[in-house]
Amino acid sequence: MDFDTNNNTPQRAAITFSATGSEYFRIWIVNLLLSIVTLGIYSAWAKVRRNRYFYSSTHLAGSSFEYHGNALAILKGRIGALVLIGGYNLAFQISPVVGLIMLVLMMAVMPWLVWKSLQFKLYNTSYRGIRFGFGGSAKEAYTYFLWLPILNTFTLGLMTPFLHQRLKRFQHTHSRFGTSNFSFDASVGSFYKTYLLFFALLLAGFLVLIFVVFASVFAAFSTNANDVTKAGSIFGAVAALYAWAFIVLPLFLTMIQNLIWNHTRLQQHQFQSQLTWGRTTFIMLTNLLGIVVTLGLFSPFAHVRWLKYRLEATSMLVYGSLDAFVTATGEQVSATGEGMVDLLDFDLSL
């Protein structure tokens, strides 16, 4: 399917995701078993196999994405990352001073690794034979992944929305498809509004629970109830607090994804994200229950359900043709950063 129009009326190109939980379960269980048998060595090939399946299952305007990551390059990156992390853990056993030096070294190298990871992820992704890429400079990476986070700690987190906006602006504006860069125009104020709404709802719910739920706890103790009743009232109060946090968190995830992608463009083409609070909450809750009940075996199904919803809630308003892009020539990039980000479970998607 192609879009080619000479007027200014956009056509919506929906993203579809054809992966299924049952297919991914077979990939997941084989990857898991082989990674265990090989003491983790196969995990690099497992990642390539998983990504190729997910990328090829993601379609836009009739064409799918492709993943070109090299398993051996990823393995080398992970070995380097393991050496660095192992040295960090060993340093504190030697002495606090050596540990502190290693901590400073880790902080110094981390922004560079994240920057290289962004380059690796995008360079090894293509659509219609055209590769993605990531520019930006190491200096900018250190600004956004080291200096601003350090400064944020001195503001007790008050700079978090500002930092989040700057990170997404850095990530999106330096990403490109062929030679065409993406753009990002969400304001700092819009991020502060999203965060403030989330914390306002979270705090309001906690205050209500404190007055209503904890009143029952006070009543149980003031009436000399038995130990079972007291324990039950405490458990209920704590469970209520966690339940409210679990209900509000999907709202934040919904708002932040919609905010980010509704302000992202590729040339004149506009992305749109239409996640809803109710659907997000339902998927997250049922995924959690499924994983708990099956002792983790539902994990691949949960992953596919969540990824499918996020992708299919996103579309592109296409002005003209998606074929009007020029392929960029890029050099092969190191996978060291990719290995480090994988090992630290660092998510750059939101």
For 290-305, the pLDDT digits (tens) are 999 999 999 999 999 9
Cα 207 → chain centroid: 30
Q: Which of 20-29, 88-97, 245-254 has the lowest mean pLDDT?
A: 88-97
Mean pLDDT for 325-338 is 57
What distance in Å separates the CA atoms of residue 307 and residue 186, rounded to the nearest whole number?
A: 23
Mean pLDDT for 76-86 is 82
User: Under 8 Å CB-to-CB from 328, ≥6 apart: which residues?
Assistant: 131, 133, 176, 178, 179
- For the chain, give the mean pLDDT: 86
What distance in Å separates the CA atoms of residue 321 and residue 11, rounded to the nearest whole number?
A: 10
Share of the chain above pLDDT 70, in %: 83
33 vs 79 pLDDT, higher one: 33
What distance in Å separates the CA atoms of residue 112 and residue 110, rounded to the nearest whole number?
A: 5
**Residues 199, 158 contacting (CB under 8 angstroms):** no
**Residues 131, 328 contacting (CB under 8 angstroms):** yes
Q: Up-side HSE of residue 15: CA atoms within 13 Å toward CB?
A: 24
Mean pLDDT for 211-234 is 63
338 vs 200 pLDDT, higher one: 200
81 vs 66 pLDDT, higher one: 66
The closest of 19, 12, 93 to 307, measured between CA atoms, is 19
Mean pLDDT for 194-203 is 94
Mean pLDDT for 259-268 is 94
* pLDDT higher than threshold 90 for residue 337: no
pLDDT at residue 344, rounded to an integer: 47
Q: Which of 232-241, 274-283, 320-329 has the lowest mean pLDDT?
A: 320-329
- Tell the residue number behind the tokens 């498809």, with chain if given: 177
* pLDDT higher than threshold 80 for residue 118: yes
Confidence category of residue 107, pLDDT binned at 50, 70, 90: confident
Mean pLDDT for 268-275 is 94
* pLDDT higher than threshold 90 for residue 190: yes
**β-pair type (11-17, 58-60):** antiparallel
Number of neighbouring beta carbons within 10 Å of residue 331: 7
pLDDT digits (tens, 9 = 90+) for 23-53: 999 999 999 999 999 998 999 999 999 999 9
Mean pLDDT for 205-210 is 81
Backbone angles phi, psi at 249, to 5 degrees: -55, -45
Alpha helix segments (H runs only) across the chain: 21-37, 43-56, 71-94, 96-123, 138-142, 148-154, 160-173, 188-222, 227-261, 277-293, 299-312, 336-344
pLDDT at residue 346, rounded to an integer: 47
* pLDDT higher than threshold 70 for residue 15: yes
Confidence category of residue 246, pLDDT binned at 50, 70, 90: confident
